[in-house]
A and B are shown apart, each in its own frame.
Chain A
Amino acid sequence: MKTSRRTFLQSTAGIAGLLLLGGRKSEASRLQVNPDQYGVLVDTTRCVGCRNCEKACNEINEDLPRRPAEWFKDETVFKEKRRMDYGAYTVVNRCESESGSKPYFTKFQCMHCLYPACVSACIVGAFTREPNGAVIYDAWKCIGCRYCMAACPFQVPAYEFGNVLTPQVRKCTFCFQTRLVKGGVPACVESCPMEVMTFGKRTDLIMLGRERIRSSPGQYVPHIYGEQEVGGTSWLYISGMPFEAAGFPALGYHPAPGFTEPIQHTIFKWFLPPIGLYATLGGVMWYLRNRKKGKNSNPDVNGRES
């Protein structure tokens, strides 16, 4: 095979062009944040730990294992700090406040990040972020690699380890299919007797949160958790007790995928590493084989092979 100067230049330019196309900017940070997207403001000072939200969540999500109504009235679950698992999209935890006397409750679920690390980490695109704010999961696409679980800064996605044949990753759906697309509000929001949660446009909720903090000085920690954490989340929290003590991780304000994605995507775009690797190996093999051939054969005086 003879490579002309022209084909060489063409192929080099082609490869360079492909590389430039790939991973110009991180996938997640390219996502447009819809200013009208929904969110939920959770005012944890109101929560009394009745677990009605857990119950409503279990009722509406038929994928979850059924639990009897009595189980949601059992207060002994508060003895330990629970986490979301394959059986629950949301949990309420109790933490003792500093003064000791008043118990303090906090509801946890997927935060539905504006720049979700799970979407970025998923290699098959099983996670998507909807324009209305929900980060949802498609079990049909999932290959069970559990990269999402490692990537999530809040450690939300859980895995159905008990199910051998068709295990799924489980996390809060924001009631996307069941309620949001029908114009409803998430089941937990509706079920709460204390109206701890307010559903609305995220921008409005930030204003509402600020107003609450401002109008009751001293009652809240002056911070809306999720307004800026990891680039912002759809679920926002205001609290009367320091967030770290209430069980929230201390995170920076930069989206988690912002740093990892450009590198990861540049390297893996268009299968470049395997192509590069095999091209190199192939090149080496070809060179070695040719050299051997050259040694074995006896070139004549004119340099022609016999």
Chain B
Amino acid sequence: MNKKWLALVVMASFCICLGIIGKKSGVSSEEVAVDAVVQESGITEETLAPDVQPPAVEKKELPERPRFITLPELFKELERAPVQFNHDRHARTLEKDGCTLCHPKNEDEKLLFTFPKERDESDKDALMNSYHDTCIACHQEKTGAGEKGGPVTCGECHVIGEEYLKREYLPVMPEYYEVLRDTYHKDCISCHQEPAKAAEDAGGLDWKAFYVKERALTEDAWPKVLFDYLIHDKHSKTLEEKCELCHYISPERKAQLAAEGKEPACKDWLKEIDENNSLTEEESAHFRCLNCHFERKERNEKGGPLYCNECHTGTERTIEEMADVSRQDCEQEEKILIMIEEGSRAKGVPFNHKGHQDKTRSCQDCHHQTIRPCIECHSVEGCEEGDGITLAEAYHEASSPWSCIGCHEIEKKKADCAGCHHRLKGGLVESSCGTCHTGERASLEAARKLPDPKDLFPEDLEDELEIKVLENEYQPSKVKHLQILRKLTDISNESKLAQHFHVEENTVCAGCHHLGPLEKRAQVPSCATCHTVRKEPESATPTLLGAYHQQCLGCHKQMGGKEEDMPQTCTGCHEEKKETQVQAVK
């Protein structure tokens, strides 16, 4: 009897113990899953680390990159891993078969770059089968004929490649932020929180899902080709019937111009859009460029690139590399006054179109894809064609690289400018409207070079300052005031952009004396007026110590100068005191 009871007690206590542990792990199963995902991602990233480079760089300078066939709008959720398709490898292997092996031709015997030839988009299965039938049939045929064939079973094409995993789990990158850095997006994670439940306002996407979605749109494709001034110049020099080949003008307009006895000018070509030709940007570029290149090759003429990675190099020529390339003569006035309507409240903005051509890589740097005046798409109230972006936003949005202000903000991040500008408030500052809206073209003509600072303040400009307010461990710091001013004046006078915008003769003073350009020495407030020696609680204003160091070292760091010119160490600015001196001060 006794034995049975004791055995029962022991068994029961164990059962309860196990049950509770089981319950515990049941409760935390969600956490386990999440941890597992985190761990998994960590492991994959680690293991990926050594070979994160695009895998197929085969003795060629230009990288081959696979394309992930995901087609989310048609396939919705994928049942298997997306296929990594390497177009260039196919194109080079099958060169003798020609493009028509995979791509159809239209009535005019022009290649259409769609795939497969019999593409059935009626439903998901039909589309899937049209891919499978075409690919597998060809792979089998090639293998059967003793040539180099391709995979025929599911898992050989549908591989979860390292590239895909890397893309799926990589954290948000800073360059991505550049695209979305307007005030509404803040940082992605503040809306796209994890878990997805917390992100209901953000379309139910947690940041990983959001990231994957956006990356699929931005990174999956080949890098875009920038049709820069150099490429345009080559085409217009080589080809006879230049404009018609790529640009469009409506027959009516052409007839009208012919009646007036004029040749169509650049801006006539650019204004027109072929409404019958409804190809997307990508289709249109491939259709026009590649067909022309192939035809020229068949005629044994000097043609253009035929393979993906020859155009989509992923590198872009810089403005400096194209300094000698002639810019398109677009018969646009060199200097114009941008004025939306007569008598509007804001005065017109004088604009040097030629000057901006010299400082860009292609017309598309400002004009997007269809090269038309801004107002045609971005109407004053905003319309669908311009993505609802109003004209004012198109000119002023500080977060967009397309707008005037946004592009100038990017310019201000360059080393020469960033020294002062990184601490000055950027974007649209109150009362800065008049800087651009002068209403007169003459302001473009004037070569506004800043005078030498010594000429500006002959009497009360100090050549050298000695800062000893906080003298304690170190000797007083000697600031070469005049030398700094001259250096900044020279930088400003060398840049055309700065020449135009540094209106006041004493602009460079404001780089440090950030309350504004100063007319007289008497107006310079002491730094210690606002920047107190002791830290005020709850105050975001730096103390005097912080203000001096942030001002000087911040600028030196941004400008990235040499140690002897722009010291970034303690003793670069002030020598160290000896032990006895320190104690005496204390």
A40-72 with Cβ < 8 A to chain B: 46, 48, 50
State in angstroms the CA–CA spacing of A102 and B556 once bound together.
11
Complex alpha-carbon distance, A210 and B399, angstroms = 17
User: Do A223 and B187 have beta carbons less than 8 Å apart?
Assistant: yes
Q: Are A267 and B21 in contact (CB under 8 A)?
A: yes
Chain B interfacial residues counted at CB < 8 A: 64
- Alpha-carbon distance between A3 and B5 when the two chains are bound, in angstroms: 7
A70 CA to B190 CA, complexed, in Å? 44
Please tell me if B257 contacts chain A, counting CB pairs below 8 Å. Answer: no
Bitwise, B113-143 to A at CB < 8 A (1) or not (0) is: 0000000000000000000000000000000
The verdict on B379 contacting chain A, using a C-beta distance below 8 Å, is: no
Contact A19 B20 (CB under 8 A): yes
Choice from B28, B38, B177 contacting A222 with Cβ under 8 Å: B177
Q: How far is the CA of A106 from the CA of B215 in the complex (A)?
A: 29
B131 to chain A, nearest CB (A): 36
Taking a contact as CB atoms under 8 Å apart, the answer to whether A50 and B570 are in contact is yes
Q: Indicate with 1 or 0, residue by residue over A102-113, a CB within 8 angstroms of chain B CB atoms.
A: 100000000000
Residue on A nearest B178 in the bound complex, by CB: A218
Hey, what's the 0/1 contact readout for A207-220 against B, CB within 8 Å counting as 1? 01010011111110
Tell me whether A271 is interfacial, beta carbon within 8 Å: no
Residue numbers in A under 8 Å from B158 (CB-CB): none
Question: Could you mark each residue 8-30 of chain A with 1 if its beta carbon is under 8 Å from any beta carbon of chain B, else 0?
Answer: 10011001100110010000000
The one of A19, A194, A241, A280 that contacts B16, using a Cβ cutoff of 8 Å: A19
Contacts A263-B21, A290-B3 known; A218 to B545 CB distance under 8 Å?
Answer: no
Segment at the interface with B among A84-92, A122-130, A170-178, A251-259: A251-259
Of B80-88, B452-460, B535-543, which binds chain A?
B535-543
The residues of B that contact A216 with a CB separation of less than 8 Å are 422, 426
Q: Once the chains bind, are B17 and A210 in contact (CB under 8 Å)?
A: no
B22–chain A nearest beta-carbon distance, Å: 10
Among A50, A242, A266, A279, the residue within 8 A (CB) of B569 is A50
- Interface-located stretch among B168-176, B276-284, B308-316, B329-337: B168-176
Instruction: State how many angstroms separate the Cβ of A114 from the closest Cβ of chain B.
Output: 16
A8-B5, A8-B8 known; A46+B413 contact, CB < 8 A: no
Contact of A283 with B by CB under 8 A = yes
Chain B positions 186-227 with a Cβ under 8 Å from a chain A Cβ = 186-190, 194
User: Contacts of B173 on A, CB cut-off 8 Å?
Assistant: 242
Nearest-neighbor residue (CB-CB) of B20 within chain A = A19
Known: A2-B2, A101-B560, A194-B550. A223 touches B189 (CB 8 A): yes
A residues near B409, Cβ cutoff 8 Å: 217
State which of A208, A217, A259, A283 has its C-beta within 8 Å of the C-beta of B181. Answer: A217
Partner of A263, one of B25, B399, B422, B538: B25
How long is the Cα–Cα vector from A244 to B181 in the complex, in angstroms? Answer: 21
Contact with A along B538-581 (1 / 0, CB 8 A): 10101101100110011001001000000011100000000000
Residues of A within 8 A of B13 (CB): 12, 15, 276, 279
Residue of B nearest to A26 (CB): B28
Give the distance in Å from the alpha carbon of A88 to the alpha carbon of B426 in the complex: 40
Q: Check: A221 CB closer than 8 A to any chain B CB.
A: yes
Q: Min CB distance, B92 to chain A, in Å?
A: 33
Type the 1/0 row for B10-35, where 1 means its CB is closer than 8 Å to any CB of A: 10111011001100110110011011
- A252 engages B35 (CB within 8 Å): yes
CB contacts (< 8 Å) of A19 on chain B: these are 16-17, 20
Cβ contact within 8 Å between B546 and A194: yes
Give Cα A16–Cα B17 distance, bound, in whole angstroms: 8
Q: Are A102 and B25 in contact (CB under 8 A)?
A: no
Q: How far is the CB of A220 from chain B (nearest CB, A)?
A: 8
Interface membership of A250, Cβ < 8 A: yes
- Beta-carbon nearest neighbor of A24 in chain B: B24
Q: Please determine whether A221 and B177 come into contact, CB atoms closer than 8 angstroms.
A: yes
Asked whether A266 lies within 8 Å of B171 as measured between CB atoms, the reply is no
Interface string of B48-72 (1 = CB under 8 A from A): 0000000000000000000000000
Contact A254:B35 (CB < 8 A) given known A19-B16, A217-B181: yes
Q: Quick check: B538 and A210 within 8 Å, CB to CB?
A: no
> Could you say which residues of chain B place their CB within 8 Å of the CB of A101?
560
Q: Is A214 within 8 A of B34, CB to CB? A: no
- Of B2, B7, B38, B557, the most chain A CB neighbours within 10 A belong to B557
- The closest CB in chain B to the CB of A198 belongs to B540
Q: How far is the CA of A107 from the CA of B537 in the complex (A)?
A: 23
In the complex, the answer to whether A1 meets B186 with C-beta atoms within 8 Å is no
Whether B7 and A266, one on each chain, are in contact in the complex, defined by CB atoms closer than 8 angstroms, is: no
Secondary structure of the B contact surface, majority rule? helix
Asked if A193 is an interface residue, CB under 8 A from chain B, the answer is yes
B9 interface hit (Cβ, 8 Å): yes
B529 at the interface (CB under 8 A from A): no
Interface flag for B183 (CB, 8 Å): yes
Q: Does B6 contact A (CB under 8 A)?
A: yes
Report yes or no: A222 in contact with B10, Cβ–Cβ below 8 A.
Answer: no
Decide if A286 touches B6 in the complex (CB within 8 Å): yes
CB pair B186–A214 under 8 Å, yes or no, is: yes
Residues in chain B near residue A11, CB distance under 8 A: 9
Asked if B45 is an interface residue, CB under 8 A from chain A, the answer is yes
- Complex partner residue of B187 from A15, A222, A263, CB under 8 angstroms: A222
Q: Please indicate the chain B residues that have their CB under 8 angstroms from the CB of A262 in the complex.
A: 24-25, 27-28
B451 is an interface residue with CB less than 8 A from chain A: no
Contacts of A3 in B (CB 8 A): 2, 5-6, 9
Alpha-carbon separation in the docked complex, A171 to B6 (Å): 50
Which residues on A sit within 8 Å (CB–CB) of B189? 222-223, 228
CB pair A218 B8 closer than 8 Å: no
- How many Å from the CB of A196 to the closest CB on chain B? 9
In the complex, how many angstroms separate the beta carbon of A52 from the nearest chain B beta carbon?
Answer: 8
Q: A287 in the interface, Cβ–Cβ < 8 Å?
A: yes
| Residues of chain B within 8 A of A75, CB atoms compared | 569
- How far, in angstroms, from A283 to B4 measured CA to CA in the complex? 11
Closest to A221 in B: B174
Residues on the B chain within 8 Å of A50, using CB? 569-570
User: What does the 1/0 interface line of B395-417 toward A look like (CB < 8 Å)?
Assistant: 00011000000000100010000
Asked if A259 contacts B28 (CB within 8 A), the reply is: yes
The closest CB in chain B to the CB of A70 belongs to B576
Is the beta-carbon distance between B42 and A250 smaller than 8 angstroms?
Answer: yes
Closest to B31 in A: A259
How far is the CB of B529 from the nearest CB of chain A, in Å?
Answer: 18
Closest residue of chain B to A102 (Cβ to Cβ) is: B560
Residues of A within 8 A of B399 (CB): 217
Please indicate the chain A residues that have their CB under 8 angstroms from the CB of B186 in the complex: 210, 213-214, 222
A200 at the interface (CB under 8 A from B): yes
Decide if A143 is an interface residue (CB 8 Å cutoff).
no
**Residues in B311-347 with C-beta less than 8 Å from chain A:** none
- CB neighbours (8 Å) of B425 from chain A are 215
8 additional contacts (CB under 8 A) given A213-B187, A252-B35: A11-B9, A20-B20, A101-B560, A102-B560, A195-B545, A198-B540, A208-B540, A218-B177
**List of 4 A-B pairs having minimum Cβ-Cβ separation, nearest first:** A195-B546, A222-B187, A252-B38, A217-B181
Question: Can you sample 28 A-B contacts with CB below 8 Å?
Answer: A1-B2, A3-B5, A12-B13, A48-B553, A193-B549, A194-B553, A195-B543, A208-B540, A213-B186, A217-B399, A217-B426, A218-B181, A219-B422, A222-B174, A223-B172, A224-B187, A242-B174, A254-B34, A262-B25, A262-B27, A263-B24, A263-B25, A266-B20, A266-B21, A266-B24, A267-B21, A283-B7, A290-B3
Listed in ascending order, the chain B residues whose CB lies under 8 Å from chain A are: 1-3, 5-10, 12-14, 16-17, 20-21, 24-25, 27-28, 31-32, 34-35, 38, 42, 45, 171-174, 177-178, 181, 183, 186-190, 194, 398-399, 409, 413, 422, 425-426, 535, 538, 540, 542-543, 545-546, 549-550, 553-554, 557, 560, 568-570
